[in-house]
Amino acid sequence: MSHAIRADKFLLDADRTTWHDETLWFVREKRDRAVYAVPEFQELRELASGIKNHTLSRLDLYLREFESAAQANGVYVHWAADAAEHNAIILDIIQKEGATRIVKSKSMLTEECHLNPFLIKHGIEVVDTDLGERIIQFRDEPPSHIVLPAIHLKKEDVGDTFHTHLGTDKGESDPQRLTEAARQHLRAKFIAGEVAISGVNFAIAETGAVVVCTNEGNADLGVNLARVHIAAMGIEKIIPRLSDLGVFTRLLARSATGQPVTTYTSHFTKPAPGKAMHIVIVDNGRTQQLGRPDFRASLKCIRCGACMNTCPVYRRSGGHSYDFTVPGPIGAILSPNIDMKKHASLPFASTLCGSCTDVCPVKIDIHTQLYKWRQVLGEANEIPASKKWSMKFMGRVLASTRVYGLGGQFARKALRLLPHGLTHAPSMNAWAVARELPEAPKQSFREWYAKQPQPAVQPTQPQIPA
Q: Which of residues 427-446 bind another protein (CB under 8 A)?
A: none
- Rounded CA-CA distance 448/400 in Å is 20
Region of 5-13, 247-255, 302-310, 366-374 interacting with another protein (CB under 8 A): 247-255
Exactly one of 288, 351, 409, 443 binds another protein (CB under 8 A); that residue is 288
Residues near 140 by beta carbon (within 8 Å), at least 6 away in sequence: none
Burial 124-145 (b: 16+ CB within 10 A, else e): bebbbbbbbbbbbbbbeebbbb
What are phi and psi for residue 84, nearest 5 degrees?
A: -60, -40
Closest distance of CB 341 from another protein, Å:
22
Q: How far is the CB of 37 from another protein (least distance, A)?
A: 9
- Selection from 281, 274, 278 nearest residue 65 by Cα: 281
Spatial distance between the Cα atoms of 144 and 135, rounded to a whole number of angstroms: 12
Handedness of CA 66, 71, 73, 75 (dihedral sign): positive
Spatial separation of the C-alpha atoms in residues 362 and 50, rounded to whole Å? 8
Show contacts with another protein in window 325-344 (CB under 8 A): none
**What is the contact mask toward another protein in residues 177 to 206, using x (rule: CB under 8 A)?**
-xxx-xx--xx--xx---------------
Q: Smallest gap, in angstroms, from Cβ of residue 75 to another protein?
A: 10
Nearer to another protein, 79 or 371 (CB): 79
User: Residue 169 interacts with another protein (CB under 8 A)?
Assistant: no
Q: Considering beta carbons, is residue 138 or 404 the nearer one to another protein?
A: 138
- Over the window 56 to 85, marking each residue x when it contacts another protein by CB under 8 A and - when it does not, the resulting string is xxxxx--xx--------x----xxxx---x
Q: Does 154 bind another protein (CB under 8 A)?
A: yes
Q: How far apart are CA 122 and CA 293, in angstroms?
A: 40
Q: Which stretch binds another protein (CB under 8 A): 171-179, 393-401, 412-420, 446-454?
A: 171-179
User: Which of 167, 426 has the CB closer to another protein?
Assistant: 167
Binding residues for another protein restricted to 293-332, rule: CB under 8 A: 293, 296
CB of 241 to another protein, least distance (A): 8
Q: Shortest approach of another protein to residue 254 CB, angstroms?
A: 9
- Give the containing element (helix H, strand E) for 414: helix 401-417
Q: Does 265 bind another protein (CB under 8 A)?
A: yes
| Sign of the four-CA dihedral 332, 114, 264, 302 | negative
Q: Is position 166 an interface residue for another protein (rule: CB under 8 A)? A: no
Distance in angstroms (rounded) separating the CA atoms of residues 117 and 221: 23
Binding residues for another protein restricted to 6-45, rule: CB under 8 A: 23, 26-27, 38-40, 43
**Residues between 369 and 428 with contacts to another protein, criterion CB under 8 A:** none
How many Å apart are CA 212 and CA 201, to the nearest integer?
5
User: How many residues of this chain bind another protein (CB under 8 A)?
Assistant: 95
Q: Does 357 bind another protein (CB under 8 A)?
A: no
Residues 223, 129 contacting (CB under 8 angstroms): no
Within 205-234, which residues bind another protein (CB under 8 A)? 207, 209, 215-218, 220-221, 224-225
Q: Which helix or strand (DSSP H or E) is residue 316 part of?
A: helix 312-317
Nearer to another protein, 177 or 316 (CB): 177
Least spacing, CB of residue 460 vs another protein, in Å: 51
CB contact at 8 A, 233 and 109: yes
| Residues in 266-285 that interact with another protein by CB under 8 A | 266-273, 281, 283
Kindly report the backbone phi and psi dihedral angles of residue 7, in degrees, each rounded to the nearest multiple of 5, phi listed first: -65, -35
